[in-house]
Structure 1
Amino acid sequence: MAEMAAEKKKKKKSLPVIPWMRDPVDISLSDSCPLSSIPFLDSRLETALRSKGFGSLFPVQAAVWHETIGPGSFERDICINSPTGSGKTLAYALPIVQMLSTRTIKCLRALVVLPTRDLAVQVKEVFAALAPAVGLSVGLAVGQSSISDEISELITKPTMGIGVCCDSENFSQEIRSSVDILVATPGRLMDHINHTKGFTVEHLCYLVVDETDRLLREAYQSWLPTVLQLAQSSSNSLFPFGGAINRPAFGLLKTVRSFGVERGFKGKPYPRLAKMVLSATLTQDPSKLAQLDLHHPLFLTTGKSRYQFPENLKSYKVVCTSKLKPLYLLALLGTLQGEKCIVFTSSVESNHRLCTLLNFFDDLQIKIKEYSRLQRQSVRSKTLRSFREGETQVLISSDAMTRGMDVEGVKNVINYDMPRFIKTYIHRAGRTARAGQSGRCFTLLRNDEVMRFKKLLQKADNESCAEYSVPSESVEALRPMYTTALARLKESVESDKHKKARVNIKSRGIAKKNDKSS
């Protein structure tokens, strides 16, 4: 009886709070669909896809196409909860490019917002592979270059002729967008909204919020309410340069917001701003989803559980003592024989310390590099390029890499530090076993962490995780080098402290000098 009550309580707790989430479209029931069978697909886009090696669409891509270009006709906003590596980026990029290709008006009509620069660059590349085929252009606003360089890429200024005054009203009106689609991070997006002359989101047709749960968790200068307000403020948003249209009389419909759902169009332009929100761990919090102002949302998901592992992922645990953890990691990397691997740590500080320590081991047969948010963007980009090209075999990373990053050929993910939350595990593990490929996720555990790790996996309905045995002789063989590496790490840490102290003293001296001169 007690067991039945516990099971009932468990099921009740797992049910989504929001009504529209209780009746989702199950993507897992769909099959991949050959390009030749995709209805209404523009032949130019089919050619572009085939040139990139695509012969069919994955289930999530086919499902989104069905609800946007197909019978669904994008009558509802789309919310997608699908495992990492399932093809979510192309799922929204393809229909957006197709829909925008039917009109030749040059203005910013689609906006894709992502939480990190590296992820935004990756998504921009997907759009850039499709958009030129149908005469569209894609821009990037992430702070990777100076804002003046971004402005020159995003904004078209009229050619100054004889007798034309740059202060004239006509001149300012002719400053237009150079791009149809913009991929942006929130901070730089707000920079352009607030300061860039001629930049506007008032003509948006489509808004994509990728990695939704992270973007909703952090305010990012109130970018979302700003975009929604500006995009819906224009009474003629989709036809900004003349040619008013007769709109259906939706003004009499009552607008009611319940759980973040638009129930009509009173006081809003029509056609509406269509939205797509996506994550591998989409939030079910009504207060957070309410920020999106969704219109009759349609929930697409894979299976019944919110947390889904990639289909071909195998999970393993490696039990070891805390003091010998670096040796177990190196021994494990040795068994993986140079396969591309990402190692995750719990913080940027431990990330730097671990990478420094490992590189103090002599005669390593693998190249190991650090990747974290503390590095300059140029350094991170160079490291990532080296990893993609196979020059670096192992990346030691903080959680900056967990969200959406796609590096081809990553065979293994290693949790050097056990993640605290199942959501973190899902996103870390999702760097491998992508696009139908196989992959492995290893987690190094102390004895006192084994039970907690088991409970963590149970939240994703994963009841079993095999133990992976690292050869003890491989660990013992590394002990002499470990002592030397630890001593060198200590020297390095002390040296870094002295450098920081000198920089701080110099900075205070400059500040005092400036105070006296003023």
Structure 2
Amino acid sequence: MAKAPPVLQWMRQPLDVKSFEEQSLDSVPFLHPGLMESLRNVGIHSLFPVQAAVWHETVGPGGGARDLSISSPTGSGKTLAYSLPIAQSLSQRLLRRLRALIVVPTRDLAMQVKQVFDAIAPSVGLSIGIAVGQTSVAAEASQLVLFPGKTDTCFRELHLASDNLPESRVDILVATPGRLMDHIQNTPGFTLEHLQYLVVDETDRLLREAYQEWLPTVLEAATGKNFSPSDDSNPGIGSVRTIRRSCLERGIKGCVVPRLQKIIVSATLTRDPAKIAQLGLYHPLSIALSTSDNLYKLPEQLRSYTIICKAQQKPLKLVTLLHSLGDQRTVIFTSSVSNTHRLSTFLACFEDLPFRAVEYSSFQHQLARSKALAAFRAGEAQVLVASDAMARGMDVEGVTHIINYDMPPFARTYVHRVGRTARAGRSGSCFTLLRKEEVRYFKSILAKVQNSSCKTYKVSSESTKELRPRYWTALQKLKEILDAGAGKKGHEMYAEEVTAADDAAVVASLLPG
């Protein structure tokens, strides 16, 4: 029997979210009136348990003395859990400096996190920026850094040797790692030396991928650890980092400068000590739902089902299932970008569907992906076909169903996928289409997840029979589209050669699964 991997002791003994109750805003201690009003303006009148727990350990009695690890099911309110105390703390600032940095793995998640800050932080005079690579580095930099007396048009010619020292335009920055590194290395005046909060959202994903060694670079830029004065042409008089380093070098205890507090966040947080060690956490406290070792947690209101079928039956079973779900908001997950594109194209070929389906994957340009997501959020499209880029932290209100067209490869993938529904205490359902030979492996995935009972769902054979003629027509249209796209730029990734074009079963093999 394989030996269980080591787990850090502080992760074994979390502050249990269940020990906190939902708390009305009127009873939240020290909550700024402006923040309370802004929360109510967006329909929030109480804090969920995880939000109350984090508030307790940051603004409340805990007072931010420790770094925090936040791990709770998707949809439990983790973004507001850290954004609210950060906005509360920074509301007391005297000068505008970049004091809070939130790092996320994708552009779409960055924009979602920024929307949360946009809803509350302006009420206490805070400015929020975003760095995700949607525009050029120079254009983005002009929104983050201001040189007094200079115009944005001459930003590229500015240097740190300027007589006018740069100022930050933002108090809080939400960034993806690659673009963050661009600004650290190439943007004059961009500095992390005043940073008081570093949030690493979707921590497990960010730690699995190096992203140009962003983490050690950020930690050094913010804390001065392993910092050589000869490498700093302009450290900034009285900067937080400079004072921190001076206190450290001179052995001064009780330094009055705010400590950089790190907050790591994920629904499936890694327990690997080597990966966690990269973060350099200080006396960390885990805030989580108490679970057995090596188990993930699903939303309590989630209902899970499996649909067992042959590979060539999956497209028809899917369409039949979608018909039965009606116009309810549904997200379909596939295992790859190419599968997402093929499946969404197939649904577009199907005549007289009672719903509109849109594609959401990294195969698309960012603008097209944003439009698809906007249409889905607005209810103009009822079905969204997505790759796993969508599964990470994205919050779309009102999603009632998740369909795993392709079986998730890992338990953590399953957790993030199904977490798009049954959010904030609402109910939701998940359907996973499986080939007979996949059943055993899927059961091993469920064994790693608490609250994961899964029933078998029977798709109506009568409805399937009625849809069959239109199904064959859609498959033939799909083949024609893919054949026409073969060899063209951007289509090689999903085009396949098919012989025996009159054989519908072969045409069906074009689809994922």
Could you say whether these structures have the same fold, taking a TM-score greater than 0.5 normalized by the shorter chain as the test? Answer: yes
Q: Distance in 1 between matches of 2:491 and 2:79?
A: 46
The more displaced of 493-502 and 314-323 is 493-502
SS at match of 2:307: strand
Aligned 8 A contact 2:105 2:176 in 1:
yes
The more displaced of 291-300 and 141-150 is 141-150
SS at match of 1:292: coil
| Cα gap change, 1:371 to 1:243, in 2 (>3 Å) | closer
| Cα gap change, 1:363 to 1:317, in 2 (>3 Å) | same
In structure 2, the residue matched to 1:402 is: 391
Matches within 5 A, 1:124-143: 124-143=114-133
| Cα gap change, 1:160 to 1:443, in 2 (>3 Å) | closer
| Cα gap change, 1:94 to 1:321, in 2 (>3 Å) | same
Counterpart amino acid of residue 124 in structure 2: V
Q: Distance in 2 between matches of 1:324 and 1:178?
A: 56
Which of 203, 215, 231 is the equivalent residue of 2:206? 215
Matches within 5 A, 1:263-412: 270-305=257-292, 306-412=295-401
CA-to-aligned-CA distance 1:440-467 (integer Å, 9 cap, x gap): 1111112222232222111113463111
CA-to-aligned-CA distance 1:187-242 (integer Å, 9 cap, x gap): 01011111111111111111000000000000001111000001112999xx9665
Which of 476, 479, 483 is the equivalent residue of 2:465? 476
| Cα gap change, 1:46 to 1:487, in 2 (>3 Å) | same
In structure 1, the residue matched to 2:41 is: 51
What TM-score results when the alignment is normalised by the length of structure 2?
0.87
The more displaced of 468-477 and 408-417 is 468-477
In structure 1, the residue matched to 2:447 is: 458
Q: Distance in 1 between matches of 2:477 and 2:485?
A: 12
SS at match of 1:276: strand
Q: Distance in 1 between matches of 2:97 and 2:465?
A: 64
Q: Distance in 1 between matches of 2:277 and 2:86?
A: 24
In structure 2, the residue matched to 1:75 is: 65
In structure 1, the residue matched to 2:499 is: none
In structure 2, the residue matched to 1:514 is: none
In structure 1, the residue matched to 2:139 is: 149
Q: Distance in 1 between matches of 2:108 and 2:159?
A: 40
Q: Is residue 191 from structure 1 mapped to residue 196 from structure 2 by the alignment?
A: no
In structure 1, the residue matched to 2:93 is: 103
Counterpart amino acid of residue 67 in structure 2: D
CA-to-aligned-CA distance 1:168-189 (integer Å, 9 cap, x gap): 9773552111000000000010
In structure 2, the residue matched to 1:499 is: 488
| Cα gap change, 1:240 to 1:95, in 2 (>3 Å) | farther
Aligned 8 A contact 1:343 1:394 in 2:
yes
Q: Distance in 2 between matches of 1:479 and 1:243?
A: 69
- For residue 270 of structure 1, report the CA deviation from its aligned partner: 4.8
Which of 153, 168, 174 is the equivalent residue of 1:177? 168
| Cα gap change, 1:248 to 1:347, in 2 (>3 Å) | closer
- For residue 269 of structure 1, report the CA deviation from its aligned partner: 9.3
- For residue 248 of structure 1, report the CA deviation from its aligned partner: 13
Q: Distance in 1 between matches of 2:246 and 2:220?
A: 21
Q: Distance in 2 between matches of 1:167 and 1:388?
A: 42
In structure 2, the residue matched to 1:258 is: none
CA-to-aligned-CA distance 1:256-299 (integer Å, 9 cap, x gap): xxxxxxxxx99999532110001000000011111100000001
| Cα gap change, 1:299 to 1:170, in 2 (>3 Å) | same
The more displaced of 298-307 and 374-383 is 298-307
Matches within 5 A, 1:413-452: 413-452=402-441
Aligned 8 A contact 1:252 1:266 in 2:
no
In structure 2, the residue matched to 1:232 is: 223
CA-to-aligned-CA distance 1:479-510 (integer Å, 9 cap, x gap): 2122222222222111111323999xxxxxxx
Q: Distance in 2 between matches of 1:160 and 1:247?
A: 31
Aligned 8 A contact 1:454 1:463 in 2:
no
- For residue 149 of structure 1, report the CA deviation from its aligned partner: 2.3
Q: Distance in 1 between matches of 2:239 and 2:438?
A: 65
SS at match of 2:70: strand
| Cα gap change, 1:170 to 1:422, in 2 (>3 Å) | closer
SS at match of 1:132: helix
Q: Distance in 2 between matches of 1:17 and 1:39?
A: 34
| Cα gap change, 1:302 to 1:499, in 2 (>3 Å) | same
Which residues of structure 2 form unaligned runs of 5+?
A: 152-156, 230-234, 493-513
Aligned 8 A contact 1:202 1:231 in 2:
yes
The more displaced of 388-397 and 350-359 is 350-359
| Cα gap change, 1:243 to 1:284, in 2 (>3 Å) | closer
Aligned 8 A contact 1:232 1:268 in 2:
no
Q: Distance in 2 between matches of 1:242 and 1:13?
A: 48
Aligned 8 A contact 1:351 1:396 in 2:
yes
Counterpart amino acid of residue 340 in structure 2: N
| Identity among equivalent pairs (%) | 55
Q: Is residue 21 from structure 1 mapped to residue 8 from structure 2 by the alignment?
A: no
What TM-score results when the alignment is normalised by the length of structure 1?
0.87
SS at match of 1:209: strand
- For residue 252 of structure 1, report the CA deviation from its aligned partner: 9.5
SS at match of 1:208: strand
Hey, which bits of structure 1, 4+ residues long, moved more than 3 A?
Answer: 166-173, 239-254, 265-271, 500-503
- For residue 439 of structure 1, report the CA deviation from its aligned partner: 0.7
SS at match of 1:500: coil
In structure 1, the residue matched to 2:505 is: none
Aligned 8 A contact 2:331 2:383 in 1:
yes
| Cα gap change, 1:483 to 1:170, in 2 (>3 Å) | closer
| Cα gap change, 1:502 to 1:350, in 2 (>3 Å) | closer
CA-to-aligned-CA distance 1:79-138 (integer Å, 9 cap, x gap): 011100000000000000111111121111100000000000000010111111111100
| Cα gap change, 1:501 to 1:329, in 2 (>3 Å) | closer
SS at match of 1:425: helix
The more displaced of 51-60 and 152-161 is 152-161
In structure 2, the residue matched to 1:116 is: 106
Q: Distance in 1 between matches of 2:412 and 2:490?
A: 38
Q: Distance in 1 between matches of 2:14 and 2:194?
A: 31
Aligned 8 A contact 2:111 2:130 in 1:
yes
SS at match of 1:13: coil
